Chains A and B, each alone.
Chain A
Amino acid sequence: MGAAPQQVSPDQRVADFRKIFSRAESEVARVIVGHREVVRKLLTALFCGGHILIEGVPGLGKTLMVKAASETLGLSFKRIQFTPDLMPSDIIGTQVLTESDGLREFQFKPGPIFAHMVLGDEINRATPKTQSAVLEAMEEHQVTVFGTTYVLDPPYIVLATQNPIELEGTYPLPEAQMDRFIFKVVMGSPKPDELREILNRTTGTAQNKIQPLFEPARAPQAIEDLKGLVREVMVAEPLERYIISVIGGCTPGGPGAIPEVSQYLRFGPSPRGAQALILCAKVNALLAGRVSVSYDDIDDAIVPCLRHRLLLNFQAEAESVSSESILEQVIKRLKKPRT
């Protein structure tokens, strides 16, 4: 498991991917009850090389989930609680004057952003300045402090959470910055059965221990190999055209835009949305045991990939039209190209 791709046949690599993914899901499920879709999206985002924005009220186990995932995959994990007085240096790190052997020098002390998995709790509570520091690290996979650039070790994934109910004293992420997250996942409240299971697990004496899939030393490389496998999945030209038509269909005034899009949207998804769509579809294909993307893989990826990239206008907000409903209309009405 986690062997070098040169020695393993492509079929074996595909099978390994599925096995690892499935095992990671089950390991996280030992700790987290329910939210299987959120866990799947979390792992998908990791293998796509993207970041994920989780929206949900406090107490749903967001932190626990990320922690469990990092433990399962053998990756390092850091958590940042965003507050209004949090400074960028608190996150990315700063130069500290140190003395060793009578020699004083500035040494870079990395901040919590230097980890494989970073949980940014309530990212909308920080000031835009601090938010932008994180977002730059997310996009570039590197930070620059006092003119020195520090590369963040791959794999690198930021899981940011947002609290949708408290808006006072918050700085909601601008739409342009939301675009940097591959998915926006909405975490709902647990169902009664799930809640009972949560209570049993957390208030008793039994402890669920997670079995790591990789040794911490080998984990980053193994994950990178799996990310490489995702990119090797093939997409036929008609399917690429379909993805383009989806993006065009969601853009007001774009080719094939449906009337609802022109009526309720100010802006549509960017090319980054199309990239996210393809990558997510590729992971879906691998999970289905295929090495080529199908229309179903794309359709499954449309809502989580594009829901936060659509900018609704005032009319949509007044009429309580959600971006999800618009995307569902787009999926329904767009024709799948055959050639």
Chain B
Amino acid sequence: MRVMLCAVAPALTAIVLGLLLGTIGDLTWGQYGYWLAPDSAIALSLALIGAGLVVLAMGLLMAFRAYRRANDFVAAAAELDDLLECNQEIVTFANLANPAVPERSRARRTPLFPVLWRRAIALFGGLDLRREFRLEVGAPLKRSSIFAGVVALAMLFATLGLVRAPTPESREAAKLRAIAQEIAKTATSSDDTALAGKIRAAADALENSKLPPAEKKKRIEDAMRQAEKAAEKRNNSQSGKNRGTGKSNAQSGNGGGKSQGQGNSSGAGTGEGKSGTGSGQNAGGNNPSPGKGSTGNNSGKNDGGKGTAKNDKNDQNKGDPSNVKLQNELAKAEAQAETADAKNPGPDNQPGDDKNQGGANKPGDKPDQKSGSQPDPNRPGDLPKPGANGDRNIPAAGGNPKNNKDMGSNLGDTHLGEMPTSTNAQRFLKPGEKGAGVDIKDARYVMFRLPGAPTSSSGGKTVLDTDRPKATTAYVNAPLAPTSDDAPPDERQLVPPRYRDMIH
């Protein structure tokens, strides 16, 4: 009993916290705009419930063991022995007077057994069962409340670790899920259930970061289509009904004239309208009440008994607030998916694939948003490669000044403009000689071809030549002969900014 009391409080605390995690979240961190991701919430909730059940099971197991021990003659004697501090005299007595094995017990007795008997009886005489085995509820509950506190603290810390400010996608997904739940609750047909399922799938897809944006969009569009289909179906069934019974008995309230007209109502009402003021004129209100209403959704006019209650589909959709809300949310979700698509270029958006030249960020236009076509200059894979494609990335010597326009290309540093294409330098110009100017100002890449290092067979040591003459005039590269195809790839390196002025 005491064991169970110890186990009950923490177990119940854990289970209750696990079950009410959502409500607790709504009342606490939800108030401050934070949220617990559904996966984490489910995991935490399951963990808490599981822990509670485990503690409860352990408590039951220990209680069962205690019960069994209490039924064991010698074990119960041992319990009493401990309680009365009898130096195992009661255990020995129980062992030698065990009714379960009377023969064996008797064989072990010695002439001193009567002494033991008398001593055991004397010890039992001092035993007050009510005092010794009083059910103390306070202490076990106090102890268990400590454990319960520990469970609550563990939950608190776990929650603190898991609670996040929601991303726009998650927020949108949560809204969609809420709508899905609402639809599922009030579902009257299989279409509604299917719609709820689609919306949930769309919400899941929206949150799933591993899913490609195209797939997300697809699922959201599926949900939108399903929503439209469901709305349309509802409208059709409603309009069918109204077409058949579209007789509108317009009864004037004040004039007393009766008017009968044929209404073409596709509203949710039955088309039997009683309204109007004046004689013979009935102006149908736009009453969105579904079911058998007085006027239904008649937004048309019932004029002089020949009122035609017209109600187009869009009006009908507008009249269903949950549908409107759903459409809105789905549209938002789609927008979110598109935004995510723009944010994450993904593996498909390779530099060079994007032919949209306007892909670069424009100042002031969503500064946080990176263009999908912008390559990362630090990525080694984005360095210009030799060969056909690589040539396009090489600055052009003697380049076309038109190329300096910032076209927002993905081929290089868009800030600095298009990379000039290269021409092969052939030789250094002689001092004083003026060749064609190499327009590589502000270029980020320069291609060098270094001569092979002289090999020394004697293995001499390297000495820095500090006395070598330093250049006083600028050197300009002249075009070199084109390299053969089987030549090793040229070495490229970034020109440090401090040397850029030296290159003309």
Task: Report the minimal beta-carbon distance from A272 to chain B, rounded to whole angstroms.
Answer: 22
Residues of A within 8 A of B111 (CB): 5, 10, 232
The 8 A CB mask of A218-236 against B (1 = contact, 0 = none) is 0000000000010011111
Do the beta carbons of B96 and A338 come within 8 Å of each other?
no
The closest CB in chain B to the CB of A14 belongs to B115
Residues of A within 8 A of B92 (CB): 234-236, 239, 292-293
- The yes or no answer to A288 lying at the interface (CB within 8 A) is yes
In angstroms, Cα B78 to Cα A157, docked, is 38
Do the beta carbons of B75 and A338 come within 8 Å of each other?
yes
Do the beta carbons of B78 and A234 come within 8 Å of each other?
no
- The yes or no answer to B74 lying at the interface (CB within 8 A) is yes
- The yes or no answer to B72 lying at the interface (CB within 8 A) is yes
The 8 A CB mask of B68-102 against A (1 = contact, 0 = none) is 01001011001100000001110111111000000
**Which residues of chain B (102-131) have a CB below 8 Å from chain A?**
108-116, 118-119
B108 CB contact (under 8 Å) in A234, A290, A339: A234
Residues of A within 8 A of B113 (CB): 234, 291
Chain B interface residue count, CB cutoff 8 Å, equals 26
Do the beta carbons of B112 and A236 come within 8 Å of each other?
no
A236 CB contact (under 8 Å) in B72, B91, B110, B114: B91
Task: Report the minimal beta-carbon distance from A296 to chain B, rounded to whole angstroms.
Answer: 7
Contact A237/B119 with A10-B111, A10-B114, A339-B75 known, Cβ cut-off 8 Å? no
Do the beta carbons of A239 and B88 come within 8 Å of each other?
yes
Contact A234/B110 with A292-B88, A292-B116 known, Cβ cut-off 8 Å? yes
- The yes or no answer to A270 lying at the interface (CB within 8 A) is no
A232 CB contact (under 8 Å) in B74, B88, B110: B110
Contact A294/B88 with A10-B114, A234-B112 known, Cβ cut-off 8 Å? yes
Do the beta carbons of B74 and A339 come within 8 Å of each other?
yes
Do the beta carbons of B87 and A290 come within 8 Å of each other?
yes
Choose among B74, B78, B95, B115 the residue with the greatest number of A CB atoms under 10 Å from its CB: B115
A293 CB contact (under 8 Å) in B79, B88, B94: B88
B115 CB contact (under 8 Å) in A5, A10, A238, A339: A10
Task: Report the minimal beta-carbon distance from A24 to chain B, rounded to whole angstroms.
Answer: 21
A238 CB contact (under 8 Å) in B79, B91, B96, B109: B91
- The yes or no answer to A11 lying at the interface (CB within 8 A) is yes
In angstroms, Cα B96 to Cα A290, docked, is 15
The closest CB in chain A to the CB of B74 belongs to A339
- The yes or no answer to A295 lying at the interface (CB within 8 A) is yes
**Which residues of chain A (43-62) have a CB below 8 Å from chain B?**
none
Do the beta carbons of B119 and A236 come within 8 Å of each other?
no
Do the beta carbons of B119 and A290 come within 8 Å of each other?
yes
The closest CB in chain B to the CB of A288 belongs to B87
Residues of B within 8 A of A290 (CB): 87, 89, 119
Task: Report the minimal beta-carbon distance from A143 to chain B, rounded to whole angstroms.
Answer: 33
Residues of B within 8 A of A338 (CB): 75, 78-79
Contact A291/B88 with A10-B114, A233-B112, A338-B78 known, Cβ cut-off 8 Å? no
The closest CB in chain B to the CB of A239 belongs to B88
Contact A236/B96 with A10-B111, A294-B87 known, Cβ cut-off 8 Å? yes
In angstroms, Cα B86 to Cα A294, docked, is 9
Residues of A within 8 A of B110 (CB): 232-234
Choose among B72, B96, B112 the residue with the greatest number of A CB atoms under 10 Å from its CB: B112
Do the beta carbons of A291 and B119 come within 8 Å of each other?
yes
The closest CB in chain A to the CB of B98 belongs to A237
Task: Report the minimal beta-carbon distance from A174 to chain B, rounded to whole angstroms.
Answer: 36
B74 CB contact (under 8 Å) in A235, A238, A293: A238
In angstroms, Cα B119 to Cα A86, docked, is 54
Do the beta carbons of A232 and B112 come within 8 Å of each other?
yes
The closest CB in chain B to the CB of A285 belongs to B87
The closest CB in chain B to the CB of A242 belongs to B88
In angstroms, Cα B108 to Cα A338, docked, is 19
The 8 A CB mask of A273-300 against B (1 = contact, 0 = none) is 0000000000000001011111110000
Contact A10/B95 with A296-B87, A339-B75 known, Cβ cut-off 8 Å? no
Residues of B within 8 A of A235 (CB): 92
In angstroms, Cα B69 to Cα A296, docked, is 23
In angstroms, Cα B122 to Cα A290, docked, is 13
In angstroms, Cα B81 to Cα A236, docked, is 13
A291 CB contact (under 8 Å) in B74, B78, B115: B115
**Which residues of chain A (194-238) have a CB below 8 Å from chain B?**
229, 232-238
Do the beta carbons of A339 and B78 come within 8 Å of each other?
yes
Task: Report the minimal beta-carbon distance from B72 to chain A, rounded to whole angstroms.
Answer: 6
**Which residues of chain A (303-339) have a CB below 8 Å from chain B?**
338-339
**Which residues of chain B (250-297) have a CB below 8 Å from chain A?**
none
Residues of A within 8 A of B74 (CB): 236-238, 339
Task: Report the minimal beta-carbon distance from A51 to chain B, rounded to whole angstroms.
Answer: 25
In angstroms, Cα B115 to Cα A10, docked, is 7
In angstroms, Cα B114 to Cα A238, docked, is 21
Task: Report the minimal beta-carbon distance from A45 to chain B, rounded to whole angstroms.
Answer: 21
The 8 A CB mask of A1-27 against B (1 = contact, 0 = none) is 000010000110010000000000000
Residues of B within 8 A of A11 (CB): 115, 118
In angstroms, Cα B115 to Cα A5, docked, is 14
The 8 A CB mask of A88-122 against B (1 = contact, 0 = none) is 00000000000000000000000000000000000
Residues of B within 8 A of A239 (CB): 88, 91-92
Contact A10/B87 with A237-B95, A238-B74 known, Cβ cut-off 8 Å? no
B112 CB contact (under 8 Å) in A237, A288, A291: A291
In angstroms, Cα B88 to Cα A296, docked, is 9
Residues of B within 8 A of A238 (CB): 74, 78, 88, 91, 95
Residues of A within 8 A of B112 (CB): 10, 14, 229, 232-234, 291
The closest CB in chain A to the CB of B114 belongs to A10
In angstroms, Cα B109 to Cα A292, docked, is 11
Residues of B within 8 A of A339 (CB): 69, 72, 74-75, 78
Do the beta carbons of B115 and A295 come within 8 Å of each other?
no
Task: Report the minimal beta-carbon distance from B115 to chain A, rounded to whole angstroms.
Answer: 5
Task: Report the minimal beta-carbon distance from B109 to chain A, rounded to whole angstroms.
Answer: 7
In angstroms, Cα B401 to Cα A70, docked, is 126
Task: Report the minimal beta-carbon distance from A293 to chain B, rounded to whole angstroms.
Answer: 7
B109 CB contact (under 8 Å) in A234, A293, A294: A234
Task: Report the minimal beta-carbon distance from A167 to chain B, rounded to whole angstroms.
Answer: 43
In angstroms, Cα B112 to Cα A338, docked, is 23
In angstroms, Cα B86 to Cα A288, docked, is 12
> What would 25 A/B residue contacts be, using CB atoms closer than 8 Å?
A10-B111, A10-B114, A232-B112, A233-B110, A233-B112, A234-B92, A234-B96, A234-B108, A234-B110, A236-B92, A236-B96, A237-B74, A238-B78, A239-B88, A239-B92, A291-B113, A291-B115, A291-B116, A293-B88, A293-B92, A294-B89, A338-B75, A338-B78, A339-B72, A339-B75
Binding site for B on A (CB under 8 A): 5, 10-11, 14, 229, 232-239, 288, 290-296, 338-339
Sort A-B residue pairs by CB-CB distance and give the 6 closest, nearest first.
A294-B87, A292-B92, A236-B92, A236-B95, A291-B112, A232-B110
Known pairs A232-B111, A236-B92; list 14 more (Cβ under 8 Å): A234-B92, A234-B96, A234-B109, A236-B74, A238-B88, A290-B119, A291-B112, A291-B116, A292-B92, A292-B116, A294-B87, A294-B89, A339-B72, A339-B78
